[in-house]
Chains A and B, each alone.
Chain A
Amino acid sequence: MERLYNPDLMSEAEIKQTFVARQPQIEELVALIEKQPQGAGVQHAVVVAPRGMGKTTMLLMVQFALKDRGLDAQWQAVRFPEESYAINDLADFWLETLRNLAVAVETPDLAIEAENLIAKFPRNADLQEAALALIKDWCRRENKRLLLLVDNFDQILEQINSERDNAALRNALMNDGTLQIIGGATAFFHEARSYDQPLYNFFRLYHLEELTFEEIQNLLRQRAAADGTPNFEAILQANTVRLRVLRYFTGGNPRLVLMLYRVVMDSQVVEVREALEKLLDEVTPYYKAKIDSLPPQQRKILDHIARISSQTNEGLTPGEIAKATRLSPQATSTQLRRLGELGYVRAANLRVRNSYYTLSEPLYAIWHQMRFGRGPRRRVQWLVDFIKSWYDADELKGESQRLEDRFRNFFQTGATKEALSSLQHRLYLAHAMSDVPVKSDTLESVIDGYLQLGAIKELLDVLPEMEMKKFSDATLSALFDAGCVTKEVMQRMKISSAEMKIRVESAKANGLIGLAIQKIKDEMFEDALQLLSPINSWDLHPVVLQTTHFVRSVALLESGFYKEATVEAKMAMEVETELTDHSPMLNVLLGSYLQMEEFEQAMSILDQFPDHDQEHLHFLKGLCLLGLDRHQESVLSFDKEIIVSSEDPFAWFYRGLALKEQGLIKESIMSWQKAFELETPEIKLEEKWRFGLHQGNFILSVFNGDCNSARTEWMRCFRLSREQNLIDEWKEMASQTLSCMIEAGNARFIRDLIRDTQDEESLFPLARALDYLFTGDEALIEKLSPEIRNLVVEMVEKLRPAVGDAAAQPAPKARPRPAPRQRIHKQLR
Chain B
Amino acid sequence: MINRIGPPVRGEDFFGRESFVDLVWQRVRAGHVLLAAPRRFGKTSVMYALIDAPRHDFRIIHADLEHMSDPTELLTELIIKLSRERGFSLNLPGMGEAAKRLLERARGVVSEVELLETKITLREQTRRNWKDIGTALFAQVATFKQPVLFILDELPMMLDRMAASPEGREQAIEMLRWLRHLRVAPEMSDLHFLVAGSIGIDYVLNDLGEITAMNDFERLRLEPFTPQVAGQFLDALGDANNIALSPACRTKIFQLIGEPVPYFLQIMFSEVSKLHSASGDKITPAKIERIYHERVLGMDCKSYFEHYNGRLRDYYKPQEEKAIKRLLRELAVTDSLTRSAAHAILHESLGRTLEVEEFNGLMANLENDFYIRQDATTYDYSFACKLLRDWWLRYYGLAV
Q: Which residues of A contact B (CB under 8 A)?
A: 24-25, 27-28, 31-32, 35, 37, 39-44, 117, 121, 126, 129-130, 132-134, 136-137, 140, 164, 167-168, 170-171, 173-175, 188, 192-196, 198, 200-205, 207, 209, 337, 340-341, 350-351, 632, 636, 639-640, 642-643, 664, 666-667, 670
Whether a CB of chain A sits under 8 angstroms from the CB of B231 is no
A202, B7: Cβ atoms closer than 8 Å: yes
Q: By the criterion CB–CB under 8 Å, are A134 and B311 in contact?
A: no
CB–CB B306/A37 < 8 A: no
Closest-CB distance, A239 to chain B (whole angstroms): 26
Contacts of B10 in A (CB 8 A): 37, 39-41
- State whether B303 touches A201 (Cβ < 8 A): yes
Q: 12 additional contacts, CB 8 Å, given A37-B10, A643-B393?
A: A25-B277, A28-B277, A40-B10, A43-B4, A130-B116, A133-B113, A140-B112, A174-B7, A174-B64, A188-B303, A195-B311, A196-B314
Nearest B residue (CB) for A32: B2
Q: Which of B2, B67, B69, B397 contacts A35 (CB 8 A)?
A: B2
Q: Is the CB of A201 within 8 A of B111?
A: no
**Closest beta carbon of chain B to A345's beta carbon, Å:** 12
Binds A, one of B125-133, B245-253, B293-301, B364-372: B293-301
Q: Which of A132, A341, A632 contacts B299 (CB 8 A)?
A: A341
Residues in B whose Cβ lies below 8 Å from that of A134: 112-113
A667 touches B277 (CB 8 A): no
Residues from chain B with a CB closer than 8 A to the CB of A670 are 334
Q: Which of B9, B13, B338 contacts A667 (CB 8 A)?
A: B338
**Shortest distance from the beta carbon of B54 to any chain A beta carbon, whole Å:** 15
Q: Looking at the complex, which one of B8, B113, B294, B397 makes contact with A130 (CB distance below 8 Å)?
A: B113
Nearest CB of B to A242, in Å:
26
Determine if B354 is an interface residue (Cβ-Cβ < 8 Å): no
**Are B6 and A204 within 8 A (Cβ)?**
yes
Q: How far is the CA of A207 from the CA of B277 in the complex (A)?
A: 13
The answer to the question of B48 belonging to the interface, with a C-beta cut-off of 8 Å to chain A, is yes
Specify the chain B residue showing the minimal Cβ separation from A670.
Answer: B334
Q: Which residues of B contact A121 (CB under 8 A)?
A: 120
B9 touches A164 (CB 8 A): no
Across-interface contacts of B298 in A (CB, < 8 A): 350
Among B39, B111, B120, B338, the residue within 8 A (CB) of A666 is: B338
Nearest neighbor of A123 in chain B, beta-carbon distance: B120
A175 touching B64 by the CB < 8 A rule?
yes
Inter-subunit contact A41/B306 (CB<8 Å): no
Q: In the complex, are the beta carbons of A137 and B112 less than 8 A apart?
A: yes
Contacting A at CB under 8 A, from B27-46, are: 39-40, 44-45
Q: In the complex the two chains form, is B6's CB within 8 Å of A171's CB? A: no
Q: Is the CB of B333 within 8 A of A642?
A: yes
Question: A129 vs B118: C-alpha distance in the bound complex, in angstroms?
Answer: 12
Smallest CB–CB gap between B81 and chain A, Å? 12
Assess the B116–A201 pair: CB atoms within 8 A. no
Q: Flag B56-85 by CB within 8 Å of A: 1 or 0 each.
A: 000000101011010000000000000000
Residues from chain A with a CB closer than 8 A to the CB of B110 are 140
A43: chain B residues within 8 A (beta carbon): 2, 4-7
Nearest residue in A to B115 (C-beta to C-beta)?
A: A133
Residues on A with C-beta less than 8 A from B348 are 632
When the two chains form the complex, which single residue of A117, A207, A643 contacts B397, counting CB atoms closer than 8 Å? A643
Determine if A195 and B397 form an interchain contact, defined as CB atoms under 8 angstroms apart: no
- Chain A positions within 8 Å of B300 at CB level: 188, 205, 207
For A137, the chain B residues whose CB sits under 8 A away are 111-113
Residue pair A196, B116 in contact (C-beta under 8 Å) = no
Give the Cβ gap from B267 to chain A, nearest Cβ, in Å: 10
Residues of B with C-beta under 8 A to A341: 299
Contacts of B307 in A (CB 8 A): 195-196, 200
- Asked whether B2 lies within 8 Å of A201 as measured between CB atoms, the reply is no
User: Does B220 have its Cβ within 8 Å of any Cβ on chain A?
Assistant: no
Q: Which of A28, A126, A168, A209 contacts B67 (CB 8 A)?
A: A168
User: By the criterion CB–CB under 8 Å, are A192 and B303 in contact?
Assistant: yes
User: Quick check: A133 and B116 within 8 Å, CB to CB?
Assistant: yes
Chain A residues within 8 Å of B306, by CB: 193-195
How far, in Å, is A23 (CB) from chain B's closest CB? 9
- Closest A residue, CB atoms, query B303: A193
Chain B residues numbered 109-166 whose CB sits less than 8 Å from any CB in chain A = 110-113, 115-116, 119-120, 157
Pick from A133, A140, A198: contact of B66, CB under 8 Å: A198
Q: Which of A24, A40, A129, A337 has the most CB of B within 10 A?
A: A40
Return the chain B residue nearest A43 by Cβ: B4
**B310 touching A194 by the CB < 8 A rule?**
yes
Q: Report Cα–Cα, A209/B111, bound state, in Å.
A: 45
Pick the contact of B11: A27, A37, A136, A194 (CB < 8 A). Answer: A37
**Cβ of A37: which chain B residues have Cβ within 8 Å of it?**
10-11, 13
User: Bound state CA distance, A643 and B399, in angstroms?
Assistant: 12
- From the candidates A117, A171, A207, A632, name the one contacting B64 in the complex (CB within 8 A): A171
- 8 Å CB contact of A40 from B48, B294, B393: B48
Instruction: Tell me the minimal C-beta distance from B337 to chain A in angstroms.
Output: 8
Task: Give the interface centre of B7, B48, B310 by most chain A CB atoms within 10 Å.
Answer: B7
B185 interface residue per 8 A CB criterion: no
Are A133 and B2 in touch, CB under 8 angstroms?
Answer: no
Q: How far is the CB of B272 from chain A (nearest CB, A)?
A: 13
Q: Provide the residues of chain B in CB contact with A203, threshold 8 Å.
A: 6
List 25 interface pairs A-B (beta carbons < 8 Å), by A numbering: A27-B277, A31-B2, A32-B2, A40-B8, A40-B10, A41-B8, A41-B13, A41-B48, A43-B7, A133-B112, A136-B112, A171-B66, A174-B44, A188-B300, A193-B306, A194-B303, A194-B310, A195-B39, A196-B314, A201-B5, A201-B303, A204-B5, A636-B400, A643-B333, A666-B338
A44 touches B7 (CB 8 A): yes
Among A39, A42, A195, A636, the one with the most B-chain Cβ atoms within 10 Å of its Cβ is A195
Who on chain A is nearest to B336 by CB? A670
Residues from chain B with a CB closer than 8 A to the CB of A167 are 66-67, 157
What is the minimal beta-carbon distance from A741 to any residue of chain B, in angstroms? 20
Q: Which 5 A-B pairs rank lowest in CB-CB distance, beginning with the nearest?
A: A195-B307, A133-B112, A167-B67, A195-B310, A24-B277
Q: Which chain A residues lie closer than 8 Å to B311 at the CB level? A: 195-196
Q: Taking the nearest CB of chain A, how far is it from the CB of B139, in angstroms?
A: 28
| B113 & A664 in contact (Cβ 8 Å cutoff) | no
| Closest residue on chain A to residue B308 by CB atoms | A195
Are A41 and B303 in contact, with the CB atoms below 8 A?
no
Q: Tell me the residues in window 280-313 of chain B with beta carbons closer than 8 Å to chain A beta carbons.
A: 293-294, 298-300, 303-304, 306-307, 309-311
B93-121, CB < 8 A from A? 110-113, 115-116, 119-120
CB–CB A196/B333 < 8 A: no
**A300 CA / B314 CA spacing, docked (Å):** 32
A177: nearest residue on chain B (CB-CB)? B10
Bound Cα distance from A205 to B302, whole angstroms:
12
The reply to whether A639 and B277 form a contact with Cβ atoms under 8 Å apart is: no
Q: Beyond A37-B11, A667-B341, is A196–B310 a contact (Cβ under 8 Å)?
A: yes
Report whether A340 and B299 are in contact in the complex, using a CB–CB cutoff of 8 Å.
yes
Closest CB of chain B to A442's CB: distance in Å?
46
Question: What is the bound-complex CA distance between A684 and B111, given in angstroms?
Answer: 80
> What's the minimum C-beta distance from A25 to chain B, rounded to whole angstroms?
8
Are the C-beta atoms of A643 and B11 separated by less than 8 Å? Answer: no
The complex places the Cα of A42 from the Cα of B8 at a distance, in Å, of: 8
